[in-house]
Structure formats: structure tokens, C-alpha cells
Structure 1
């Protein structure tokens, strides 16, 4: 692993577990064992390092989730598998993405609330990418455009709500509760 990657991984781990504003550059340097000059060679500011950590998490999280969804048929099975994957994450059973500490993108965007901020925009891009991934599977259901939009939005809201419930309230069963809601709704559409 090169020094730039080590800095990003170390920064991500610290930002995710302690919060971005709570972690100073000196702590990242101490944890990574890399010199300050090297850090500023790769990242002109802490915000650039935060952006890189967000991009790193986006890539690792997206790769993990896509891999999970590829193990089942597209469409309904993949939409339901999404919540099985979330449950594994909530229970910290996913070494690829580490211990569950809520959604890094929600946490980071809360610390950088200005929607024009590059960090906030990077978090929004991640969420849009997740919505697009879900939409691809909803498209496989061959519903009307209105229903497709409705199921996409519902699935995203259930996903985000489950993450929030698991983190904020400690409800580690939230993914399965959300999965049950989605399954009941999909069953209702099948009966139409």
C-alpha cells in the first residue's frame, strides 16, 4: 500500500469512528506514521483528505453491495438481498467494510451541511449512486413508470431508515423489519 492510500484509509477509519471535526491532521499522521510533508504533498488541506476518504468509502461500500446483489437474481431477489446485506453490516459481519458505526455519508454530510460544499456533494453523489443501483433492480420488476418510481423511492427510504434505526436507536433488526415491509408491498403489487 502506498503512502497516499495509507493516509486515506487511516483518515477514513478515524473519521468514521470519531467524527471528522473531532479528528485533527496530527492524529492521522500519528496513526499512519507518515510525515506531515507527505500528507500535504498528496492533500493540500484536511478537506481534500476528507473528500478522498469519502471517495474511498464510496468505492469500498459500493463494491461490497454490488457483489452481494450479484449473488442473487436481479429484481425482487436482489431488492430483498439488499436488506440481508444491511443486516450483516449492522451486525459487523462484513470485513470488507468494517465495524458498523452508522452511515459515513450521512455523518459526513451532517458535519458539512452546506450543500455547495464539495464534501456534502460527494456524500450526495454516493446516495444518488445507491438510488441508481436500486432503480436498476426495480426496473427488472416490469412495473409501470409510476410504480417503478414509487418502489425505488420506498426501497431507498426503507434502506436509509433501517441504517438510521440501527445506528441511532441500536435496532439491529431494522434491516429485516424494512425487508418485511418491502416484501409485503411487493406482494401487493404482484396481486394487482
Structure 2
């Protein structure tokens, strides 16, 4: 329980301050634990970031699935509405996973954590769309929105949804 609470606080701190700025002392304060307790659960800053990313992944998937009970195009369009809401509320600086890879390009554990996250998002889009033939395109649109949202905001989601409708229609006629 404490371990998950620490991960949640780390996720919030890294989302707010990025990866370069917060020192371990600042992270300890953000988690409201002693330095010993923090290091007991996460022995390095990289381990702290991985814990934050794993916590965020669970939070993100649960967020995407909230209020969605359908499949097909309506479900996919809903996912993109949820993505817009997520970006506005929790990721105004862009995708935390991609930011982690940019900050720590050589860290294999971090790359693997991000790979698993992205793979699960891709699988979720495939499952909800029930369109294996479009799953990669949907995933690329999702990733594009999360990358450009800090600059374009809602317009990126609106454009992605327009493209989704066009892809859906074009592939339905083939």
C-alpha cells in the first residue's frame, strides 16, 4: 500500500516537474516519506521513474475505459475524447512515457516499461475498435495526439477523429 502511494506521488511529481528538475530530496518531500523509506522501495531515481510510469499506465488505462461500454467506431471516438481530457488534466506537457525515454535514452528498464505501456494501448485500441486492420493507424493517431497536444490542444483530437471517420469509411468500402 505504501509502495503504491509513493509511486502515485512520484507520478504526480514527475508529471508536474519533469525528470531533470526534481532532486531525490524534493521527491522524498513530494512523497511525504523519509529518504530511507523512499530508497527502500525505489533504490534509484530511474527506479522511481519506472514506478511512476507503471502507476501512470494503470491510471491511464482505467481512465480510458471509464464511461466506455461499446465497441467499434463510437468506442474509438470516445477514447480520443478521453485522451483529450487526459492531456488537459494530467499531461499538459505531453506524454510522460515519451518524455522519460527522451530524458533517459539508454535506460533499458525504462524503454521496456514504455514499450509495454504502448503495446497495451495499441492492443486496447485493437480490441475496442474490433478493427485489427486499422489498429496500427489508430495507435499512430493516438500517439500523434499525445505528442502534439501541448501545442495544438483539442484541435489535434478533432483532426484525429476526422481521420478516424475517413479511415473507417474507406476501409468499410473495400
Taking structure 2 as the reference length, the TM-score comes to: 0.90
Q: Secondary structure at the match of 2:154?
A: coil
Partner of residue 85, structure 1 = 82
Task: Spell out the pairing of 1:99-178 with structure 2 (5 A cutoff).
Answer: 100-114=92-106, 117-138=108-129, 140-141=130-131, 148-149=132-133, 151-167=134-150, 169-178=151-160
Q: Secondary structure at the match of 2:93?
A: coil
Higher relative helix content? 2
Q: How far off is 1:99 after superposition?
A: 5.3
Cα RMSD, aligned residues only: 1.8
Taking structure 1 as the reference length, the TM-score comes to: 0.82
- For structure 2, which runs of at least 5 residues remain unmatched after alignment? none
Runs of 4+ in structure 1 off by over 4 angstroms are none
Partner of residue 169, structure 2 = 187
**Max Rg structure:** 1
- For structure 1, which runs of at least 5 residues remain unmatched after alignment? 93-97, 142-147
The separation in 2 between residues aligned to 1:174 and 1:10, in whole angstroms, is: 29
Q: How far off is 1:110 after superposition?
A: 1.1
Q: Secondary structure at the match of 1:173?
A: helix
Q: Secondary structure at the match of 1:91?
A: helix
